């Protein structure tokens, strides 16, 4: 059911929504009732102190089996995906760029992407057209012929994650600290790719500690997570307040 505001107008439809989401890791409750709504074609930011549960939320949304949903639901394009396995979520257009991208030996990035694009319903021809563009756009020439993330520097891993998102064009892209460990030049490439993803209709969630990334990719909404709950929601000014005054200023 679409919600109405006080004047009776329809709220914009969220492509991804969580309702009262509770998540436990190793039997320990980490998220305690997260309400999140992400809109198509918009950039959102999720901020919060270390250990507040940002990556836990990203993993739970992506379907990581160690992150157990004990209560609440996740809706993707109106469909309840709370209990779907990660590959089914990915096929429906949910993408997670990891805070710490894992190294996968024996699989070249190029091959990985060819398979992933097939899974997403991109025909082989479309992949052939898009792939060279993505390679050029994110300067991935040498990296794409190497095993996925194996021996990549921290910044190269982040660029490789954005390369995957840019090529896959997901409905929702959860980007867990896309700016951490990235130099200024690579950061501009990443920021441009994020803006383009949103312009192409992807709902983007940037998890970050630093408003710097948000200066380059202005968010429509900023959420603050604290002790497993969204405690504040606002516009870009909320990120600036956090930078100047710290998280204490926005905690409740
Ligand atoms: N696999 C796990 N096993 C045990 N505890 C975990 C696990 N994953 C997360 N936690 C705990 O859950 C809490 C939230 O961790 P999470 O990684 O989600 O925080 P975060 O907000 O992403 O922090 P950061 O800003 O440092 O990345 C922490 O106390 C963490 O130790
Ligand atoms: Mg984290």
Q: How far apart are CA 170 and CA 95, in angstroms?
A: 6
| pLDDT score at 211 | 83
CA of 121 to the centre of ligand 1 (A): 33
| pLDDT score at 118 | 81
| pLDDT score at 84 | 97
| pLDDT score at 210 | 85
Decide if pLDDT at 65 tops 80.
yes
Decide if pLDDT at 13 tops 90.
no
Ligand 1, pocket-test mutation among 24, 54, 205, 207, most atoms within 8 A of CB: 54
pLDDT band at 252 (very low <50, low <70, confident <90, very high): low
What mean pLDDT, rounded, does the chain reach? 92
> Range with the lowest mean pLDDT among 8-22, 69-83, 151-165, 207-221?
8-22
Q: Is the CB of 54 under 6 A from ligand 1?
A: yes
- Percent of the chain past pLDDT 90, that is, above it, reads 79
pLDDT band at 18 (very low <50, low <70, confident <90, very high): very high
Which residues 6+ apart lie within 8 Å of 234 measured at CB?
221, 222
* E strand map for 26-105: 28-39, 43-47, 67-76, 79-80, 94-97
Going from N- to C-terminal start, the domains of the chain cover: 42-54+93-250
Q: Is the CB of 56 under 6 A from ligand 1?
A: yes
CA of 208 to the centre of ligand 2 (A): 9
Could you give the strand order of the β-sheet that contains 221-226, starting from the edge strand earlier in sequence?
Answer: 94-97, 172-176, 203-207, 43-47, 221-226, 229-234
Q: How far apart are CA 31 and CA 226, in angstroms?
A: 9
Which residues 6+ apart lie within 8 Å of 1 measured at CB?
none
pLDDT band at 1 (very low <50, low <70, confident <90, very high): low
Q: Is the CB of 149 under 6 A from ligand 1?
A: no
Decide if pLDDT at 123 tops 80.
no
CA of 111 to the centre of ligand 2 (A): 28
Ligand 1, pocket-test mutation among 23, 50, 55, 207, most atoms within 8 A of CB: 55
Task: Provide the whole-model pTM.
Answer: 0.93
Which CATH number is 42-54+93-250 given? Answer: 3.40.50.300
Q: Is the CB of 29 under 6 A from ligand 1?
A: no
Decide if pLDDT at 2 tops 60.
no
Q: Is the CB of 25 under 6 A from ligand 1?
A: yes
| pLDDT score at 103 | 96
Q: Is the CB of 66 under 6 A from ligand 1?
A: yes
| pLDDT score at 250 | 75
Q: Whose CA is nearest to atom 10 of ligand 1?
A: 25
pLDDT digits (tens, 9 = 90+) for 35-47: 999 999 999 999 9
Q: Is the CB of 164 under 6 A from ligand 1?
A: no
| pLDDT score at 5 | 60
């Amino acid at each position: 059911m679409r919600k109405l505001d006080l004047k009776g107008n329809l709220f914009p439809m969220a492509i991804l929504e969580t309702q009262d989401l509770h998540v436990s890791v190793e039997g320990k409750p980490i998220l305690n009732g997260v309400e999140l709504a992400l809109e198509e074609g918009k950039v959102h930011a999720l901020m919060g102190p270390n250990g507040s549960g940002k990556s836990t939320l990203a993993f739970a949304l992506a379907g990581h089996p160690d992150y157990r949903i004990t209560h609440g639901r996740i809706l993707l394009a109106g469909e309840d995906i709370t209990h779907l396995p990660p590959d089914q979520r990915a096929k429906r257009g949910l993408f997670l760029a990891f805070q710490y991208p894992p190294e996968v030996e024996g699989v070249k990035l190029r091959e990985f992407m060819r398979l992933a694009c097939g899974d997403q319903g991109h025909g082989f021809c479309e992949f052939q057209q898009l792939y060279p563009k993505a390679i050029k756009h994110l300067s991935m020439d040498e990296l794409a012929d190497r095993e996925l993330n194996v021996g990549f520097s921290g910044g190269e891993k982040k660029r490789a994650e954005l390369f995957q998102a840019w090529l896959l064009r997901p409905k929702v892209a959860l980007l867990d600290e896309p700016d951490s460990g990235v130099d200024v030049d690579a950061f501009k490439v990443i920021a441009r790719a994020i803006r383009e993803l949103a312009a192409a209709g992807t709902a983007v969630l940037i998890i970050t500690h630093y408003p710097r990334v948000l200066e380059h990719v202005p968010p429509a909404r900023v959420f603050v997570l604290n002790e497993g709950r969204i405690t504040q929601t606002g516009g870009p000014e909320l990120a600036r307040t956090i930078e100047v005054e710290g998280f204490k200023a926005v905690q409740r």
